[in-house]
Structure 1
Amino acid sequence: MTPFQALLTGPEGGATGAAVSAHFFGSQLAIDAPGSTVDVAQLVVSVGGIDGPELFLNWLDGQGRQASLKPLSAGDISTVLREAPAALQPQLQRLWGERQRNRRQVSGWLAGLTGAAVVASALLWWQGGNAIGALAGLIPLSTEKQLGELALSQVRAQGGIHEGGAAQQTVQDIGRTLTAGSRYQYRWLVKQDDTVNAFAMPGGIIVVHTGLLRQAGDPGELAGVLAHEVQHVEQRHSLRQMIGSLGWGALVGVSIGDISAVAAMLAHQAGTLYFSRDMEEEADRLGLLALQRAYIRPDGMLRFFQTLDDKDKAKVPDWISSHPQTAARAQHIRSLIAATPCPACIPLASQHWQAMKALLAPADK
């Protein structure tokens, strides 16, 4: 196979990177110096570059540390695109093609934002939180989806993500009931993790930990959690929080495919976004209404919160840590239920529920 020159960053290449020669051999990526190989199946492709094209081959080493290989020149990128094994070609062709289209589209998008930037600056000086909301409103769904996919790629790299099976099917079936007619095309994933956690990423990506699925007492409780998380997407709470922490400049970089500057931050952020009290209350209120529109009894939302709130405060689950739970908030949900009765709402049933519980049960033993 034809070798290519690249910059290796990570454990072996160091933070600033080391120039190396590499080539593909069968299903392996061979790095000639320091002399190591990576299975192609472990590689996550990313693209970027503002002044020129950039391609990155990313992976985690045996100790879970992130490493990256960046071909140095356009010729080296061409070698990678041509010589990469078939297993890596779908990622390469899809992302490289999207990058070329994004660069053409973003020119017009940034031109339209030039005037908005002046207004945005004034808003940031005047009302910081509201300004971020205004900026989020300028971002097209396609860019929001790209940011969510980037965050998801970092979550995938941590391992344990499932897109099939009884657990994922249960989450997906309930979630689809709650999101009928949405402008987003939702993706429902389950992460093998014992912590009680669920989180929403921009663009309609919802991830639920197996620890939370074990905790949920019935389909109605899970529906309450999903209804809340869905509203973080629908109201663009997740997007607004990421903008606030990443900065507008980093988001523009994402829009043209330059993920290298924000990947590490997104890896840390995924699943740990903290929302304001107003955002949490809005997600509760609109999530409860979404349950009622689907004719699902909304008391499962309150029941799930109460169960977690009754646990030992020294062992507060992760989901409660990032979704602040107080007696006042529980009372707010209770008041909402009382103020918006739904006689037609019935307890939710799930055909996959028992299979999911049986699948997760061995971990409790």
Structure 2
Amino acid sequence: MIAMIEDVMILFFNLLIFAQMITLKDQTRQKMFKLAAGCTVFFTAYGIAVYVFQFPMVLSSLLTMSLPSLVLFWLFSAFRDARFFLSFALADTLSLITASFSKYLSLFFPQGEIFFLGLTLLLFIALLVFANPYFQLLKTLMRQVEGGWTSMAVTAMLIYFVLGFIAAYPTPIAQRREYVPVFMAVCLLTFAFYLVVLHSLQKTQKIVEQNIQLQQEQKIYHIAYTDALTGLGNRAAYLERINQLERLRKNGISICCIELDMNGLKQVNDTLGHAAGDRALREIASALKTVFLCRQSDSVFRVGGDEFCVLLSDVDKAEATACLDQLKNQLKQSSQTLGFSLAAAAGVAWVQAEESIEATMIRADDQMYKNKRGEQHVSETEIETITS
């Protein structure tokens, strides 16, 4: 009778550990009732197999508990991949190790069945209390991390089957007392391995949390430094880039400042609507990205309603002129796409010695407005540049 109670208790804690480790798809009262009913059926089938038909306990546990509970919890699990099998193998392994320590100690210290029944109960309670934070950690990581679980699941399954094989083949290990110390040493090694894994998971959680925080910071940075309409850098990003380039000037790199202003935006808004004006701004931004963002060192910004700024580093006048010619061609193509003409005026200036980049931008801006005032002589799809 005591042996039966101990077996049922071990199986109960095994299912309890498994239930703590897996993440259910939902926890409605109806689903929980079905889980409880299924577990009750498994207990009944195990009792009949062992105590009526006298089947070996390991085989009965596999056929009436392990495999059926695997199917049952699979149906209710939120994860039907390697994460589920990792939880299953880990729960069964921990249960097997805990029960084995209690059973095999009784072979060498015969203080009575009641004593070791209590010892088994205490060991499982201690396991639940000690491991529960790690179970919750594991469930949290499973929700946060999609990949990387397959190798862990395969390893956990192999460990579980190796321990079961050693315990049952060729005869139950209780009948081979000389091998009990070896089996318990393997159990200790396995337990130590899982402790290392759990501590690694704890570190992984910190990394995951740091990555989540970094992603949030990147989103905030993107919102703070990106123009929502065009996807270009905004004025805040422009000012920060100027500060970066000022620090790089000591390396002797050349810096080219280009100011651009879209012509006729008000006319487009008044005649075709603001949606058409927004499309025009996005097309100009797209053309600027195509021409100037092929190098990581170059930067493009929308600094006003229809004003754009380009900062080029380590370029000569021929390269800058070629880029502006390419931009002109891009705007011609964009004009055909939009169905109306795009026009922009540009001013170009190079940073001189003992001159700040801001001062150079002012010179480029002045040149751009001189160009803009003389635009009536220029085709609408052309960019006129004045270089200083």
TM-score in terms of structure 1 length: 0.20
Higher strand proportion: 1
Give the number of the structure whose residues are more often helix, by fraction: 2
